[in-house]
Chain A
Amino acid sequence: MSGEQTGQDEPQTGQLERVTDIGGGIDSGGVDSGRVGGIGNGTNRLLFTTLLREEWRLHTRLFGGWRFASFPLLIVLLAAAATVALLETGTAPSTIVLGLHALALGFGLYSGTAGFAGSNMLENVFGRLSLVLSSASTLPLSRRRLLGMFLVKDALFYAVVFVLPMATAAIPIGGLSATTPTELVAFWLSLSLVFAAGMTATVALIAVRTRGVPTWTIALALVSAAAGTWALDGPAAIESVRTLVVPLSGSLSAAGGLAIGTVLVAAASLALYDPTYGRPTRTASDRFSQLRAAGDRLPFADDPLVVKTLLDLSRSAGGVWKPFVSAGILLALVAALVGVVREITGIEPAPGIFFGGVLGLAAFTTYNWLTQFDSLEFYLTYPVAIDDVFRAKRAAFVLVGTPAVAVPYLAAVIRFDATLVDAAVGAILLAGYGLYYYGLTVSIAGFDPNEFLFDSVRFGTFTVGVAVAIVPTLVAGFVVVPPTPALAAALAVAGIGFGALGIVLSGRAGPKWAERYRDE
């Protein structure tokens, strides 16, 4: 705009203005420029490649180029090494195949939330971001369309970056031969299909939620599904789960049915999704002062940082039940796996040791929920030491994490008839390993446990740290049933030792991360 165009009546001299012609200006038509009759396939391609490029840059920027680029190689190594180790210890190949499909399904369920998480949550996870996904507010692109493209991009991106490396486990399972490439591709397609089905399931649930279906109804459906899996017994039921979760093991028509069903549900979910959905304004009575006033009776309530963490958890979507649901899903997956292993091999692990060792992994998801809606930067403007923030997170972790894993653990030892010694050792392992996994997570990832994903160095360190504790424990749990007194004592000592190590690791995390933040 020039001075002559301002239309001002009085002559002015010496007025300054900026010349805003930067780089030749912006095409007034935006991404739809030159297209008649709305947005065409060209825009879809442009959108897709832009989203894909954004995804790549997001990860390489967050983790550093080589740390992300080498992540698929790390998955190849882990998948191959774990498969070889499991085969060597007598695990049936079909069990390994099922386990990998269960992992792909779980990752798909998790990934489905990404496009819907909202900018606030993404900012908490990744820092201040502006994503192409948000451009529905500034460009003539519908949010539903953007979400559809976003999810297709996510499915393809992760199918290549994460699922394809997982599929290389097919090589040690089938052995090298002329048919290896075909087997590899078939395994990859099978895993990708389950991954996409998991994503679609989450998307469908979120879409239903935007139509006003109460959260408790959705939670009830999830719990019912978990309970159904849990209650599965007998070869027929196990076989039906395998057919559904492992397309590779069923007929081509069953796999095709799953693929078509996934596409149909995904399309229906996007059609059902209401982009205008918004929660009604929420008010709350003053819980902060109520909890602080109870500080002499409740051990945690004398710390405002703990109280804030608990309020963040309880008032965010899903409430205080989120860690319970995460632990419940882990329990259902592991229980189904145990059932399948029993059907295939006739072997059943010592339930206390097995479930105690595995359920400790819920420490990661519990800590994730406790930091999901918080950031360390927030505390840097108050007279609060970073060390105290981490100490408060640990207190909250113990408060929330203990019941979240104790309930499923008790259910498991009752359901699988653990002996008293086995159950007691398992409880020690659960507590000790939980603290250890927590300490490991905090030490490696600080306040951003989600950043584990796709950082090959952090993920590799975490995996090795977990394997050191869990692999010998699970082997012992499978081999010596019921546990001998000597084995029980050794595992109890291991549980206590790892627990102590976890406390040390989490105790050192505060100073470590405080220094890192201030020296950025």
Chain B
Amino acid sequence: MGILRVDELRKSYGAVRAVDGMSFDVERGELFGFLGPNGAGKTTTIRSLTGQIVPDGGTISVLGTDPTTAPLETRRRVGILPEQASPPSFLTPREYLEFVGDVRELDEAAVTAGIEHWAERLGFASKLETLHTDLSRGQQQKVMIAQAFIHEPDVVLIDEPLANLDPLVQEQVKQFLTAYAADDNAIFVSTHNIDVAADICTRVGIVADGRIVTERSLVDETGDSLLETFLEHVDDANARDMPALERTEIEA
């Protein structure tokens, strides 16, 4: 049984079924890609997994906790990087990470060391005393990545991990995520970026219309590219609001 387990998850917003029978497992050591087009139900699933919203049905287990009934316990044990989240405008990165350590009840010395470590690793050491409102989106994203990992959680849930990062930092973050998952942790990455998923994930679940339409391991696999698999399963009647695709032969 996975340390992150979802079974028949359902959530509607009025008449719109955002998540409709979602089921999957994630094991330790995996970097699981949750790959789907916009509006497929990815963010709603993450919000359900972290107890931010109450699903209409189905069961969820995250490290043995139920985020629906015990959201604080789940959030205490995982790291979360929401989509397009910004750190508080009027705190500095140092103060924000201290705040995060505080609400997570971490040891003060460990937090101090963690701040230096993450600032160095992600390249915002020179910005530790600058208010977030005066940092670029990329710098803010680095701080958000640091806050998700500062307590070294066993499970991290990330929505679009590489947004706004420059290519060099993207590469560093990719390497870090791969290594972190391999160290007996699990990372759940929600993305619509096929290249990112192909680069870093050990397994992907392709999402369309609120459910997983197929899963595929990316470890030592050959055959169709992930793009082919994605289009095969998404570019049909299951996908809503997707522009049509055509296969084109390009000649010299």
Contacts and interface: CB of A to CB of B under 8 A. Distances in A.
B131 A282 contact: yes
A312 B90 CA distance: 5
Interface string B235-252: 000000001111111111
A381 B54 contact: no
B95 A288 contact: yes
B52 interface: yes
A382 B104 contact: yes
Contacts of B250: 3-4, 6, 8, 11-13, 15
B163 interface: no
A19 B76 CA distance: 45
Nearest to A17: B248
A282 B53 contact: no
Contact of A304 (B94, B102, B245): B102
Interface string A367-386: 00000011001101111110
Contacts of B246: 16-17, 19
Contacts of A518: 51-54, 71
B95 A287 contact: yes
Interface string B125-137: 0000111011000
Contact of A381 (B85, B243, B247, B251): B85
A58 to B, nearest CB: 20
Interface residues of A, number: 53
Contact of A19 (B82, B227, B244): B244
Contacts of B90: 311-312, 314-316, 373
Interface string A282-323: 111111110010000000000011011001101110000000
B145 to A, nearest CB: 13
Most buried by B among A9, A316, A383: A383
B30 interface: no
Contacts of B73: 383
A279 B91 contact: no
Contacts of A53: none
B80 interface: yes
A27 interface: no
Interface string B62-93: 00000000011101100010100100111110
Contacts of A374: 88
Interface string B30-65: 000000000000000000001111100000000000
Given A4-B250, A315-B90, A383 B52 contact: no
Nearest to A520: B53
Nearest to A316: B90
A24 to B, nearest CB: 13
B252 A9 contact: yes
B249 A13 contact: yes
A11 B72 CA distance: 56
B98 interface: yes
A264 B104 CA distance: 55
A335 to B, nearest CB: 33
A4 B250 CA distance: 6
Contacts of B82: 381
B100 interface: yes
Contact of A284 (B89, B92, B247): B92
A311 B91 contact: yes
A17 to B, nearest CB: 6
A14 interface: yes
Interface string B18-29: 000000000000
A383 B249 contact: no
Nearest to B131: A282
Given A4-B250, A312-B88, A383 B103 contact: yes
Interface string B188-230: 0000000000000000000000000000000000000001100
A11 B248 CA distance: 11
Contacts of B134: 279, 281-282
Given A18-B245, A22-B243, A316 B100 contact: no
B103 A384 contact: yes
A383 B104 contact: yes
A16 B80 contact: no
B102 A18 contact: no
A88 interface: no
B223 to A, nearest CB: 14
A519 B13 CA distance: 10
Contacts of B94: 286, 288
Given A311-B91, A520-B53, A14 B103 contact: no
Interface in A375-410: 377-378, 380-385
Contacts of B92: 283-284, 286
Contacts of A381: 50, 52, 75, 80, 82, 85
Contacts of B103: 304-305, 382-384
Nearest to A283: B129
A16 B129 contact: no
A20 B244 CA distance: 8
B110 interface: no
A2 interface: yes
Most buried by A among B50, B99, B104: B99
Contacts of A15: 247-250
Interface in B119-169: 129-131, 133-134
Nearest to A282: B131
A316 B102 CA distance: 23
A32 B52 CA distance: 44
Nearest to B144: A381
B231 interface: yes
B46 to A, nearest CB: 10
A120 B89 CA distance: 9
Given A19-B243, A286-B98, A382-B75, 6 more contacts: A8-B252, A15-B249, A288-B98, A311-B95, A373-B88, A381-B52
30 contacts: A2-B248, A3-B249, A11-B252, A12-B250, A15-B248, A16-B227, A16-B231, A16-B245, A17-B246, A17-B248, A18-B243, A18-B244, A20-B243, A120-B89, A282-B131, A285-B129, A286-B94, A286-B95, A286-B98, A287-B95, A288-B99, A289-B95, A289-B98, A292-B102, A304-B102, A307-B99, A315-B91, A316-B89, A381-B52, A384-B72
Interface of A: 2-4, 6, 8-20, 22, 120, 279, 281-289, 292, 304-305, 307-308, 311-312, 314-316, 373-374, 377-378, 380-385, 517-520
The 8 residue pairs across chains A and B that have the minimum distance between CB atoms: A288-B95, A315-B90, A383-B76, A3-B250, A304-B102, A3-B248, A381-B80, A281-B134
